[in-house]
């Protein structure tokens, strides 16, 4: 059981900045995110795009903003459970919630802050009849640890950056013993540089490029042993493989958050704007995941919401202590 003061569900920019504001009040945070890395939409959707409306930064790449937020939070030693979705919240006593993930990891704290943004990013899955029965038995939708594929034969499907980048990484670093990239069209959607790298690796025989084709079936006894690829001109080909990795992107959905007894309006959690608390005392909702009159889904608004929410959390955790606002210019930042 992981114990902390505040469990933050969602490690997007808002969850990350909340670690810092909580740390100033000597409150520890542990973050849970279904994605394998921190940063939410900034890391997952647009890491290389410049953002122009972060106060004090005329322009900053979304990925850089996340690096800075991680650095700013570091003195307060946050904990992370990444690559796991929070699926249940149980109130076990007046001052204790237990949040459990889809992998069974349990977290306990008196306060839960939901910073879940647009929700859990779910993989887009290809329409293959028996796909679900091979999940985690050779079918993976996210590559969490490339070393998992060391010495293995991998069939990657997709035409975007994720499919291209992983095909390059697994082949170039001699991790997988064989890399095949299957794509429906003859051209790719990813960065030109990545497309060129894949072409070069294909010329060197390090990536087997199978275009104008799609994986339509999976075979194997209890685990993936082969895939059936339907080619535009050549018909169906059965290809032996250890892994089938469809990388067709991720789509957000509110997911389990919708079932936690919270007041939901327009696919978002209703909050009281005095402290961003929800209808369940001890649970707060900050950032894109909440809704209230005049809500703006902007990073700077989420930073403000997290800041006010931790003040309220402090009062709940320490009802007998008075918190006096201290400027960081006066007190500096003293980590844990």
Q: Which stretch, 5-13, 215-223, 261-269, 310-318, contacts ligand FAD (CB under 6 A)?
A: 5-13
Q: Under rule CB under 6 A, which residues in 81-140 are in contact with ligand FAD?
A: 85-86, 115-121
Residue closer to ligand FAD by CB (options 76, 303) is 303
- When CB distances to ligand FAD are compared, the closest residue is 117
Which residue, 59, 19, 16, 60, is CA-closest to 35?
A: 16
Contact range with ligand FAD by CB under 6 A, out of 6-14, 127-135, 163-171, 197-205: 6-14
Chain centroid offset of residue 194 CA: 23
**45-74 binders of ligand FAD (CB under 6 A):** 45-46, 51, 53
Q: Which is nearer to ligand FAD, 123 or 219 (CB)?
A: 123
Q: Which two tokens stand for residue 307?
A: 């800041």
Closest separation between CB of residue 145 and ligand FAD, Å?
18
* Angle ∠(303,79,35) on CA atoms, nearest 5: 75
List 4, 41, 162, 241, residue binding ligand FAD (CB under 6 A): 41
- Alpha-carbon Rg of the chain, whole angstroms? 23
The interface mask with ligand FAD, positions 227-256, x = CB under 6 A, is ----------------------------xx
Q: Please, which residue, 15 or 159, has the CB nearer to ligand FAD?
A: 15
Size of the site for ligand FAD (CB under 6 A): 38
First and final C-alpha spacing in the chain: 21
Residue found by looking up tokens 């069209």 in the block: 185
How far, in Å, are 8, 132, 159, 211 from residue 129 at the CA level? Answer: 36, 8, 21, 22
Tell whether residue 9 is a contact of ligand FAD (CB under 6 A). Answer: yes
Q: Which is nearer to ligand FAD, 107 or 183 (CB)?
A: 107
Q: Distances from the Cα of 83 to the Cαs of 9, 11, 251, 270, 332, in angstroms? A: 12, 11, 15, 27, 33
- Report the candidate in 156, 219, 159 with the shortest Cα–Cα distance to residue 186: 159
Judge contact between 161 and 181, C-beta under 8 A: no
| Minimum distance of ligand FAD from residue 85's CB (angstroms) | 4
54 or 182: CB nearest ligand FAD: 54
User: Binding of ligand FAD at residue 7 (CB under 6 A)?
Assistant: no
* Dist CA 27 CA 4 (whole Å): 8
Q: Per CB under 6 A, which of residues 285..314 are in contact with ligand FAD? A: 287-289, 297-300, 302
Other residues' Cβ atoms within 10 Å of the Cβ of residue 140: 20
The binding site for ligand FAD (CB under 6 A) comprises 9-15, 32-35, 40-42, 45-46, 51, 53, 85-86, 115-121, 255-257, 287-289, 297-300, 302
């Amino acid at each position: 059981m992981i114990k902390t003061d505040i469990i933050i569900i969602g490690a997007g920019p808002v969850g990350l900045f909340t670690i810092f504001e909580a740390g100033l009040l000597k409150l520890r945070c542990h973050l849970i995110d279904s994605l394998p890395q921190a940063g939410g939409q900034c890391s997952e959707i647009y890491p290389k795009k410049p953002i122009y409306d972060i106060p004090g930064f005329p322009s900053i790449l979304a990925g850089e903003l996340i690096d800075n937020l991680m650095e700013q939070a570091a003195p307060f030693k946050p904990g992370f459970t990444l690559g796991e979705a929070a699926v249940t919240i149980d109130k076990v006593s007046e001052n204790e919630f237990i949040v459990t993930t889809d992998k069974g990891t349990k977290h306990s704290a008196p306060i839960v802050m939901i910073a879940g943004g647009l929700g859990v990013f779910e993989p887009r899955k290809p329409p293959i009849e028996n796909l679900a029965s091979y999940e985690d038995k050779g079918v993976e939708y996210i590559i969490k640890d490339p070393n998992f594929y060391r010495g293995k034969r991998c069939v990657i499907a997709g035409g975007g950056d994720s499919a291209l980048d992983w095909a390059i990484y697994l082949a170039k670093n001699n991790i997988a013993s064989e890399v095949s990239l299957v794509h429906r069209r003859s051209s790719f959607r990813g960065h030109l540089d990545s497309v060129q790298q894949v072409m070069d690796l294909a010329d060197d025989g390090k990536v087997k490029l199978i275009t104008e084709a799609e994986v339509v079936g999976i075979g194997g006894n209890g685990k993936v042993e082969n895939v059936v690829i339907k080619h535009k001109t050549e018909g169906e080909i059965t290809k032996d493989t250890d892994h089938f990795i469809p990388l067709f992107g991720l789509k957000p959905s509110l997911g389990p958050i919708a079932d936690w007894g919270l007041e939901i309006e327009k696919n978002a959690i209703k909050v009281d704007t005095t402290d961003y608390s929800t209808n369940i005392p001890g649970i707060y909702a900050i950032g894109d995941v909440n809704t209230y009159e005049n809500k703006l889904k902007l990073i700077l608004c989420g930073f403000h919401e997290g800041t006010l929410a931790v003040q309220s959390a402090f009062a709940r955790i320490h009802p007998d202590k008075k918190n006096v606002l201290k400027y960081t210019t006066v007190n500096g930042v003293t980590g844990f």
